[in-house]
Amino acid sequence: MLLSVLSGFLLAACLPVIGKQIKGNLSILLSALPVILFIYFLSFIPGVANGETYHFTYNWVPQLGINFDFHLDGLSLLFTLLITGIGSLVFIYTSSYLKGHVYLDRFYGYLAMFMSSMLGLVLSDNIITLFIFWELTSISSFFLIGFNNDSEASRKSSLLALGITGFGGLFLLAGMILLGYVTGSYSIVELMGQTELIHNHPYFVLILFLVFMGAFTKSAQFPFHFWLPGAMKAPTPVSTYLHSATMVKAGIYLLARFTPVLGNHEYWNTTLIIIGGVTMLYAAIHAVFRLDLKGILAYSTISALGVLVFLIGLGTDDALLAASVFILVHALYKATLFLVTGIIDHETGTRDVSQLSGLNKVMLPVGIAAILAAISNAGIPPSFGFLGKDLIYEATLHYGDWAIVLTVAAVLTNICLLFAGFLAGIKPFIGKLPQKYEKLHLPSPLMYIPPMILAGLGIVFGVLPMIIDSPLIKPVAAAILNTSPDFHLALWHGWSVVLLLSTITIGGGLGLYFILKPSEGLLAKATRFEPISPMSIILRCTRIFESTAKGVTYVLQNGYLRYYVIAILTFLSVLLAYKIFKGIDLYVNFGKLTEITLYEAIVLAIMAVSIVFTVFTRSRLVAVAAMGIIGYSICLIFLFYSAPDLAMTQFSIDTLTVILFVLVLYNLPKYLKLSDTGSRVRDGMLALIFGGLISLLTLEVLNEPLEREISAYYAENAYTLAKGKNVVNVILVDFRGADTMVEIIVLSIAAIGVFSLLKLRLKSIEKE
């Protein structure tokens, strides 16, 4: 099982090495992987149909409770079959669609990576691994959407997709961690037993919000839906795979998976119904106005996702059953339509639906597939879609007080969806064939057979629902409901309200199809609302965010050293001032002070004068001299207060520093008066405040008792252990010898630095 999940990653890892060899016709061989996986997962059907679930555990980070725990039940099985099944067809389709593309190997690598991530996502039992695979799908889809990386639009939309889904992913991670914190377990199976605990926990609302954010961003729910139409810049196989059947369904999977854990709660249901309902209507209406085939499909996909969220939100047995069926229905017809769109695009070079018609005459098999898919999409019997739609109406009709509102919404959505499906699936193929397309020919069978298979399945399942009824759909519903439901799919339910609604839907949709002709004008009308669409709003927020960041960076990171210093010092001053004036009462213990002798007072006075001179003199030489005097005064202070070693060192260093300055200064320019009075006053104030605070701080520290443990140790052991009597020197060369060692190394580096700065000529210097 681990191998089956990771095989895609392995393949992707091998491709850069072997990719060049298989670039030609051999690329179709890569399709073997998803096909094998598909067969492997098919083998689980009998077991799962009997109500069994499979569990596989591989340790990964046991310390954190993160393991490769794979759990296979009905829901996972349905998704794995979709992933590998549609994956196989997409792999085959791609080998022809992107034939001879320079980066075909790369494309397959991304696809394989994506497939594995999706498999991992739907099979993970551990919610942390689930999150990791979740993010992996976002990342691999980023590469796939941006596959045409020389187009700016493509790069932009892939970034947008990554941004939105990655953003949601973070919420999901937070939600997962909270769940783990609340229940003490990271296993979904174990979480299912703790529904009560979770529902009553104060964090429940927060968890709900976080999980919703993850699911809504991934499944393109309003108001995060806009990345999906943008992602249509991707090559069509990607759109087919990611945006109809798999990735966008990850959010649905998540919601379905957590229904037994978080569901059946007022908040859960209401939120999902509202968001799902808004999304399905909003996107369905949008789909009507599109001209671009892929745009139509994108919006109808969003709408379908909305329907799914809506159904999960209803949460009744009927609704969840409808959701289970609709996942499959939608995957089948939408993938078909995408593949067909790809063929049209590939052959005619346009996706503008208003220019396409009559293509049946040149590519009949493609047309058949498309029309079948459109029928399934429309829910016209005997397609599988009819079944799905019936179930949806069944669910809405039996939902208590709001049944009528919900049903009307569902009907409206379905009318628009039907229209969109006809526009994409039927319109291009019937009517008069424009002259310029007469020379078109049928593409390679590798391209038109996959959509035909999918479309065919859509009809077969409709006519013979028992094929998938108990083996597949029942376990799915069982997994979502966490009980064993009792139902049977059937095409014919007898005369009922549901049938009436279906008829209204079909009639309404057909009517719309004949009245409304797609045109630029309609599109323009729809785009008028663009500025208030969520996409524009979020993009505007991003821009504001960017410019704010730029502004803040400009203020803080302006490249002027002194502003950095000012910022640091101001902050430090405020902090110090707060601390000093808040909690500490200052006092000076005059009794403990050492007395002042005259010569000390004189030395200090000289020092004070020198400091003032250093700061205010116009002449650099005076400044250096004054600095030297300060140094010598400090030397005297050291001498007065029992530090002969320091005095000697300070004396020598001071001498050398002054010599250095004098040597160099002659070659430097005179002081310039560079700053105005205002900034001088400001800097002076800041400097004085900071100096004053340091003084206060020092006074305060002097009041604290002194801990002399370390000194005492050195004082006692200097002679007994190190045979030295000058304790300072003993510390330097013996106790802390390693420090001194490092110090002399640093000194040597400084000397080498000086030497190389002066001796090695820079290029620009040589010009002089």
Q: Which of 52, 438, 520, 716 binds another protein (CB under 8 A)?
A: 716
Question: Considering the complex, what minimum distance in angstroms separates the CB of residue 64 from another protein?
Answer: 39
Instruction: Give the span between the Cα atoms of 327 and 89, in whole angstroms.
Output: 18
Residue 252, classified by CB atoms within 10 Å of its CB into exposed (0-12), middle (13-18) or buried (19+), is buried
Check residue 751 for interaction with another protein (CB under 8 A): yes
Per CB under 8 A, the segment of 130-138, 377-385, 435-443, 597-605 that binds another protein is 597-605
Toward another protein, which CB reaches closer, 435 or 698? Answer: 698
Question: Considering the complex, what minimum distance in angstroms separates the CB of residue 599 from another protein?
Answer: 12
- The pairing of beta strand 66-72 with beta strand 54-61: antiparallel
Check residue 650 for interaction with another protein (CB under 8 A): yes
Check residue 181 for interaction with another protein (CB under 8 A): no
- Site residues (CB under 8 A) for another protein, limited to 48-67: none
Which tokens belong to 230? 């943008």
Question: Considering the complex, what minimum distance in angstroms separates the CB of residue 707 from another protein?
Answer: 11
Question: Considering the complex, what minimum distance in angstroms separates the CB of residue 578 from another protein?
Answer: 18
How open is the CA angle 316-184-248, to the nearest 5 degrees? 45
Question: Considering the complex, what minimum distance in angstroms separates the CB of residue 748 from another protein?
Answer: 4
Instruction: Give the span between the Cα atoms of 760 and 105, in whole angstroms.
Output: 51
Check residue 184 for interaction with another protein (CB under 8 A): no
Measured in degrees and rounded to the nearest 5, phi and psi for residue 57 equal: -125, 130
3-state secondary structure string across 541-595: HHHHHHHHHHHHHHHHCCCCHHHHHHHHHHHHHHHHHHHHHHHCCCCCCHHHCCC
Check residue 565 for interaction with another protein (CB under 8 A): yes
Check residue 620 for interaction with another protein (CB under 8 A): yes
Per CB under 8 A, the segment of 58-66, 286-294, 514-522, 638-646 that binds another protein is 638-646
Check residue 746 for interaction with another protein (CB under 8 A): yes
Check residue 544 for interaction with another protein (CB under 8 A): no
3-state secondary structure string across 127-194: HHHHHHHHHHHHHHHHHHHCCCCCCHHHHHHHHHHHHHHHHHHHHHHHHHHHHHHHHCCCEHHHHHCC
Check residue 640 for interaction with another protein (CB under 8 A): yes
CB atoms within 10 A of CB 63: 7
Q: Which of 100, 349, 559, 678 binds another protein (CB under 8 A)?
A: 559
CB atoms within 10 A of CB 96: 21
Question: Considering the complex, what minimum distance in angstroms separates the CB of residue 569 from another protein?
Answer: 6
- Site residues (CB under 8 A) for another protein, limited to 666-695: 666-669, 671-672, 674-675, 683-684, 686-688, 690-692, 694-695
Check residue 18 for interaction with another protein (CB under 8 A): no
Check residue 753 for interaction with another protein (CB under 8 A): yes
Check residue 588 for interaction with another protein (CB under 8 A): yes
Toward another protein, which CB reaches closer, 529 or 671? Answer: 671
One DSSP character per residue, 194-208 reads THHHHHHSTTHHHHH
Per CB under 8 A, the segment of 95-103, 217-225, 446-454, 617-625 that binds another protein is 617-625
Between the CA atoms of 588, 593, 595 and 601, what dihedral angle is there, to the nearest 10 degrees? -60
68 forms beta bridges with 58
Q: Which of 39, 537, 539, 750 binds another protein (CB under 8 A)?
A: 750
- Site residues (CB under 8 A) for another protein, limited to 299-318: none
Check residue 706 for interaction with another protein (CB under 8 A): yes
Per CB under 8 A, the segment of 226-234, 461-469, 545-553, 653-661 that binds another protein is 653-661
What is the SS3 assignment for 59?
A: strand
Check residue 512 for interaction with another protein (CB under 8 A): no
Greatest Cα-to-Cα distance within the chain, rounded to the nearest angstrom = 117
Check residue 598 for interaction with another protein (CB under 8 A): no
Q: Which of 6, 442, 566, 580 binds another protein (CB under 8 A)?
A: 566
Question: Considering the complex, what minimum distance in angstroms separates the CB of residue 584 from another protein?
Answer: 15
**What 8-state DSSP symbol labels residue 733?**
I
Per CB under 8 A, the segment of 52-60, 305-313, 513-521, 719-727 that binds another protein is 719-727
Check residue 611 for interaction with another protein (CB under 8 A): yes
Toward another protein, which CB reaches closer, 22 or 634? Answer: 634
Check residue 264 for interaction with another protein (CB under 8 A): no
Instruction: Give the span between the Cα atoms of 118 and 138, in whole angstroms.
Output: 10
Query: Which distant-in-sequence residues (6+ apart) come within 8 Å of 712 by Cβ?
Result: none
Question: Considering the complex, what minimum distance in angstroms separates the CB of residue 189 from another protein?
Answer: 57
Per CB under 8 A, the segment of 258-266, 455-463, 483-491, 623-631 that binds another protein is 623-631
Instruction: Give the span between the Cα atoms of 455 and 495, in whole angstroms.
Output: 27
Per CB under 8 A, the segment of 433-441, 491-499, 548-556, 604-612 that binds another protein is 604-612
Residue appearing with tokens 């000529």:
761
Query: Which distant-in-sequence residues (6+ apart) come within 8 Å of 645 by Cβ?
Result: 726, 728, 729
Check residue 580 for interaction with another protein (CB under 8 A): no
Among 471, 480, 324, which residue's Cα sits nearest to residue 392? Answer: 324
List, in sequence order, the alpha helices (H) in 241-316: 247-262, 266-289, 293-314
Question: Considering the complex, what minimum distance in angstroms separates the CB of residue 698 from another protein?
Answer: 5
Instruction: Give the span between the Cα atoms of 237 and 87, in whole angstroms.
Output: 10
Check residue 575 for interaction with another protein (CB under 8 A): no
CB atoms within 10 A of CB 168: 25
Toward another protein, which CB reaches closer, 92 or 625? Answer: 625
Check residue 724 for interaction with another protein (CB under 8 A): yes
Element (H, E) at 61: strand 54-61
Between the CA atoms of 298, 304, 309 and 312, what dihedral angle is there, to the nearest 10 degrees? -160
Check residue 482 for interaction with another protein (CB under 8 A): no
Check residue 663 for interaction with another protein (CB under 8 A): yes
Check residue 576 for interaction with another protein (CB under 8 A): no
Check residue 615 for interaction with another protein (CB under 8 A): yes
Which tokens belong to 680? 């001088």
Between the CA atoms of 181, 187, 192 and 196, what dihedral angle is there, to the nearest 10 degrees? -10
Among 459, 254, 188, which residue's Cα sits nearest to residue 336? Answer: 459
Check residue 561 for interaction with another protein (CB under 8 A): yes
Toward another protein, which CB reaches closer, 469 or 683? Answer: 683
Check residue 594 for interaction with another protein (CB under 8 A): yes
Check residue 621 for interaction with another protein (CB under 8 A): no
Check residue 711 for interaction with another protein (CB under 8 A): yes
Toward another protein, which CB reaches closer, 536 or 703? Answer: 703
Question: Considering the complex, what minimum distance in angstroms separates the CB of residue 681 from another protein?
Answer: 11
Check residue 593 for interaction with another protein (CB under 8 A): yes
Toward another protein, which CB reaches closer, 408 or 565? Answer: 565
Check residue 718 for interaction with another protein (CB under 8 A): yes
Per CB under 8 A, the segment of 126-134, 178-186, 364-372, 645-653 that binds another protein is 645-653
Measured in degrees and rounded to the nearest 5, phi and psi for residue 2 equal: -60, -45
Per CB under 8 A, the segment of 363-371, 393-401, 487-495, 704-712 that binds another protein is 704-712
Residues 235/147, Cβ–Cβ less than 8 Å: yes
Instruction: Please report the sign of the dihedral spanned by the C-alpha atoms of residue 697, residue 701, residue 702, residue 704.
Output: positive
Toward another protein, which CB reaches closer, 446 or 728? Answer: 728
For another protein (CB under 8 A), the number of binding residues is 123
**What 8-state DSSP symbol labels residue 292?**
B
Residues 278/302, Cβ–Cβ less than 8 Å: no
Element (H, E) at 688: helix 677-703
